[in-house]
Structure 1
C-alpha cells in the first residue's frame, strides 16, 4: 500500500486478514473492496463488500429445513474462528426466532481433523438437522467424510461450501444443501458469456468458478465503474462513486449500495453426486440487512 502507492485494494481473503488489513487501509486512505462472503458487521468508511453476509445466506437453508423437511431440532458444528462462530451465532438466533431449537453447538480448532467426539454428540442429541460452518479446505472435507462414515443422514446444510469445493469433495458432498449468490447453472446471458470466455481462455486448466472467485472478478469491474464515474482515482471521489455504481456480471446486477454492502439474488442448492448443484429455490434481491447503519 505504501511502497507501491496503490490506488485501491481488492481482495478475497479471510476475516482475520481483513481485520488485520483495515487499519493499514485507513492509514493509507484508499478504497478497500472485500469480495469474500463473511460473518457480517465489518464497517469502515473505506470498506465496500460485494459478497453475501449471514442475513442473506442463512435463511434459505433454515427455512427449507423447517418448512419443507420438518426440522425442529438443530445441531451446529463450526471451526473455531471468526467466520465459523459468527455464522453460527447468526444461525442460532435465526433458528430460535423461527420456532425451532438448538440441541448442540460444538467447535473444533481450525487445524483439527478428528470430529469423532462432536459427531457422537450430534448422534445422541436427537437433532433432526445439522448446519456446519467450518473452515474451507481440509475441515470441510474431513467433517463431511466423517459424517457420511458415521451414517448421519439428517438434512445437512453447510454455510462454507461453494460449488467448486463441493466438486472437489466427490460423492461425499452429495445431498449437502448450500446457499450461494453464484452457481454455474445461473441461466442468464451474462453468466453464459462469462463461462464461455473462461472456457476459451483456460480450456482444460479451468477450475469451477464459485462464490469466491466470481465476486472477486466483479469487484474489479465495480472499481473500474467507480473510477470512471469519479473521473479519477482520488479516494474521496471513488468512495462516493462506489456507493452508486453497479456492474452486470455472472451474478446479475451488483451494486454495493446498502450500507457499503450489496443486495444479492441468492440460490438454495443441493449438491449432486458429481458435485454439481441443483437449484432448489431462488430469492431475488435479498437485502443484507443492517450492517453499517452509521455509514
Structure 2
C-alpha cells in the first residue's frame, strides 16, 4: 500500500494569505508527529500544501485538482467562508473535507466536518464583558463584504440588544478595499463606544492602522475575533490601544499542554517561526481530526467517513488530547487585551 495523501488547502495570496506560513507550519508539525507514531492506518502520510487562491472559484478548482490529479485522500481546509461550499462540492462523496477556521455558524453542508468556533461562541462572552465591565452601550459594526463578517455581525446585533446596547451603524467594504474614511467618520459622528471590525487578514491590519491614524484608539474600544497574533505583528505597538480579541486559542495561554505544543513548534521551526495563532493552530487540529476520523472508520472511503462526522472523536490539539465532535462548546473561549504584541488573557469561559 502507498502513502495516505492529505491536502492542506490554504490561501497563499490575497487578504487571507496572511495566515499561510503559520497554517503550513502547524500542518507539517501535525503530520510529522503522526508519522513518527504509526502514520495513518499504519501508512505514511504525505502532506500536499495547496494554494486555495483568492476566490471561491479558485479554491474549488484547487480542491478538484488535488483530488483528480494529485489523488489526495482527504482535504483539510483553512479557507474563508466564501470558499467553503465550493470546496465541499468538489469533495462531495469523493474525499472527506475538514473545515478548520472559526466561522459565522451558519450550518455547513453535511458533507463538511467543521472544527472551528462559531461566532455565537466567540461573540457572546465578549459582548457581555464589554457591556458589563466596560459599560459599552453604542456599538458600530463593520467588516469585509462576505458571509463571515455579515453573519458574525448579525449575531452581534442580537447580543448587543440583549445586553441593552444600541447599534449606531453598520458598513461593509469589498475584500482588498482600504478606503475607510466613511466608516471612520461615521464612528466619530455617532459617538460610538465600541467598534467591532470584522475585516479579513491584511484588510484587518489596514483598518486598525487607519483607525489609530484617525485618533480614535484612545476613546473608542475595538473588539474582534478577526484579530490574532499575526494581525498584531502587522501593527505598531501604539496601534493596539483599547484593542480586545476573543479566541479559543492564543499562544499566550498558560497551560502545560500549550507549553508543550509551543516547545514542539519551536523545536521544529526554530526560534523565529511564523507566530502561533488560532487560524494556523486550527490546521494542526484539522489534521488530527481527519486522522481520528479515518482511524475510527478504519477506512478512507468518503461515504463511510461521513457517517462519523457527528460522533465524538479523540484528537490532539494545542490544548492537549480532547474529545471533539462537530461544533458547540468544545473548549473555553478566551478574551484577551492586546498590549503591543502580547495577548493578555483577562477572562475565559
**TM > 0.5 fold call:** yes
What whole-Å deviation, never above 9, does each CA across 1:89-113 have from its counterpart, x for those lacking one? 1111211122211111111221211
What whole-Å deviation, never above 9, does each CA across 1:109-163 have from its counterpart, x for those lacking one? 21211211211111010211111111111x2122111211222122111231112
Secondary structure of 2:257 counterpart? helix
Which of 148, 154, 158 is residue 212 of structure 2 equivalent to? 148
Match in the other structure for 1:49: 114
Which of 246, 251, 261 is residue 194 of structure 1 equivalent to? 261
Secondary structure of 1:184 counterpart? coil
Match in the other structure for 1:15: 81
- Provide the rounded CA distance (Å) in 2 between the counterparts of 1:165 and 1:246: 31
Structure 2 gap segments, 5+ residues each: 1-66
Deviates more, 1:144-153 or 1:164-173: 164-173
Match in the other structure for 2:140: 75
Match in the other structure for 2:226: 160
Report how far residue 4 of structure 1 moved.
Answer: 3.4
Report how far residue 235 of structure 1 moved.
Answer: 2.4
- Provide the rounded CA distance (Å) in 2 between the counterparts of 1:120 and 1:23: 41
Secondary structure of 2:196 counterpart? strand
Which of 169, 182, 185 is residue 117 of structure 1 equivalent to? 182
- Provide the rounded CA distance (Å) in 2 between the counterparts of 1:193 and 1:108: 40
Q: Is the 8 A contact 1:36 1:215 kept in 2?
A: yes
**Does residue 1:185 correspond to 2:252, yes or no?**
yes
Deviates more, 1:236-245 or 1:62-71: 236-245
Q: Is the 8 A contact 2:106 2:151 kept in 1?
A: no
Secondary structure of 2:208 counterpart? helix
Match in the other structure for 1:228: 295
Q: Is the 8 A contact 2:144 2:173 kept in 1?
A: yes
**Does residue 1:247 correspond to 2:315, yes or no?**
yes
- Provide the rounded CA distance (Å) in 1 between the counterparts of 2:254 and 2:119: 25
- Provide the rounded CA distance (Å) in 2 between the counterparts of 1:262 and 1:226: 20
- Provide the rounded CA distance (Å) in 1 between the counterparts of 2:190 and 2:301: 56
Structure 1 gap segments, 5+ residues each: 284-295
- Provide the rounded CA distance (Å) in 2 between the counterparts of 1:151 and 1:254: 44
Report how far residue 252 of structure 1 moved.
Answer: 4.1
Report how far residue 43 of structure 1 moved.
Answer: 2.3
Report how far residue 57 of structure 1 moved.
Answer: 0.8
Match in the other structure for 1:264: 331
Q: 1:262 to 1:8 in 2, by over 3 A?
A: farther
**Does residue 1:129 correspond to 2:194, yes or no?**
yes
Provide the aligned C-alpha RMSD in A: 1.8
TM-score, normalised via structure 1 length = 0.88
Report how far residue 239 of structure 1 moved.
Answer: 2.8
Q: Is the 8 A contact 1:10 1:220 kept in 2?
A: yes
Q: Is the 8 A contact 1:73 1:127 kept in 2?
A: yes
The number of aligned residues is 279
Q: Is the 8 A contact 1:50 1:261 kept in 2?
A: no
Q: Is the 8 A contact 2:99 2:115 kept in 1?
A: yes
- Provide the rounded CA distance (Å) in 2 between the counterparts of 1:47 and 1:187: 32
Q: Is the 8 A contact 1:31 1:46 kept in 2?
A: yes
Match in the other structure for 2:346: 280
- Provide the rounded CA distance (Å) in 1 between the counterparts of 2:261 and 2:293: 21
Report how far residue 22 of structure 1 moved.
Answer: 1.7
